[in-house]
């Protein structure tokens, strides 16, 4: 209850009229304060946004984020490195395979070229007759450690074909079986192929190649052509 403070220090109660007057004054004061808050005509008010509360992160949170990013980057780098390594390995393998194939082909080509060169050189060094064929064949046989003397070869050649490099037997058992003996030393095709001597022709009628293959066969079966005195 509102009380009136008297100068004497005593208080008395306010009557109804006084209470109404005081309430009216309070209302007018509140209205005055409200009016002072309203801007004049033509003027605008500037409203200030309420300051945003500052978000604070702990040192541990920041370190955890850094560690996560670093880990992801490291993982990505490792994957990229692994992919690059696989590509490089595949490339190196392909290069190695290609080089090996090229080396093999070069070696084969060189070997064939050497054989052709050897045959050509031999052909230029010996006369194209029985004497030259036997001597040429013996020179090639000696490089492969295949035995056979001049006399042993000559004797068997004369008995088998009389020195005719195109001779062919069309009446014996081999001929009946469809694989007739051919050439100076009457060699059948399977034997010629199996005992062919490198550095000679693959033509069974070639006199040097025929002598070399026959001597190689005789060395395997009889020790040397010198030990052959009849059909073999």
pLDDT one-digit tens code per residue, 172-204? 898 999 999 999 999 999 999 999 999 999 999
99 vs 110, more confident: 99
Is the pLDDT assigned to residue 47 strictly greater than 80?
A: no
pLDDT given for residue 65 in this prediction? 57
pLDDT given for residue 231 in this prediction? 76
pLDDT given for residue 20 in this prediction? 47
Whole-number percent of the chain with pLDDT over 90: 43
List beta partners, residue 13: 3
Average pLDDT, the chain: 77
83 vs 62, more confident: 83
The class level of CATH for 128-227 reads mainly alpha
Residue 122: CB atoms within 10 A of its CB come to 18
pLDDT given for residue 100 in this prediction? 78
Query: At a CB cut-off of 8 Å and minimum separation 6, what does 218 contact?
Result: 148, 224, 225, 227, 228, 232
204 vs 45, more confident: 204
Is the pLDDT assigned to residue 216 strictly greater than 70?
A: yes
| pLDDT range class, residue 92, cuts 50, 70, 90 | confident
Whole-number percent of the chain with pLDDT over 70: 60
Residue spans of the domains in the chain: they are 62-125, 128-227
Choice among 116-120, 196-200, 226-230 with the minimum mean pLDDT: 116-120
2 vs 22, more confident: 22
Is the pLDDT assigned to residue 75 strictly greater than 50?
A: yes
pLDDT given for residue 36 in this prediction? 43
DSSP string covering the chain: --EEE-TTS-EEE--HHHHHHHHHHHHHHHHHHHHHHSPPTT----PPPPPPPPP---HHHHHHHHHHHHHHHHHHHHHHHHHHHHHHHHHHHHHHHHHHHHHHHHHHHHHHHHHHHHHHHHHHHS-SSHHHHHHHHHHHHHHTT----HHHHHHHHHHHHTT-TT-B--SSHHHHTT---BTTTTB-HHHHHHTPPTTS-S-TT-HHHHHHHHHHHHHHHHSSGGG--S--
């Amino acid at each position: 209850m509102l009380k009136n403070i008297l100068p004497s220090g005593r208080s008395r109660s306010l009557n109804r009229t006084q209470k109404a007057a005081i309430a009216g004054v309070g209302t007018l004061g509140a209205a005055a304060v409200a009016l002072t808050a309203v801007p004049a005509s033509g003027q605008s008010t500037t409203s200030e946004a309420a300051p945003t509360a500052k978000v604070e992160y702990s040192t541990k949170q920041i370190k955890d984020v850094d560690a996560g990013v670093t880990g992801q980057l490291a993982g990505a780098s490792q994957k990229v490195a692994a992919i690059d390594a696989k590509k490089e390995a595949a490339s190196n393998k392909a290069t190695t395979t290609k080089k090996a194939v090229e080396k093999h082909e070069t070696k084969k080509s060189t070997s064939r070229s050497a054989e052709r060169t050897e045959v050509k050189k031999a052909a230029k060094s010996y006369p194209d007759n029985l004497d030259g064929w036997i001597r040429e064949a013996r020179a090639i046989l000696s490089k492969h450690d295949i035995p056979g003397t001049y006399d042993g070869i000559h004797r068997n050649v004369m008995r088998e074909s009389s020195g005719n490099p195109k001779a062919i037997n069309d009446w014996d058992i081999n001929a009946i079986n469809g694989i007739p003996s051919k050439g100076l030393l009457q060699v059948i095709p399977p034997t010629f192929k199996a005992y062919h001597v490198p550095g000679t022709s693959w033509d069974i009628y070639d006199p040097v190649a025929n002598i070399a293959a026959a001597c190689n066969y005789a060395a395997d079966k009889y020790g040397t052509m010198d030990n052959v005195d009849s059909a073999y």
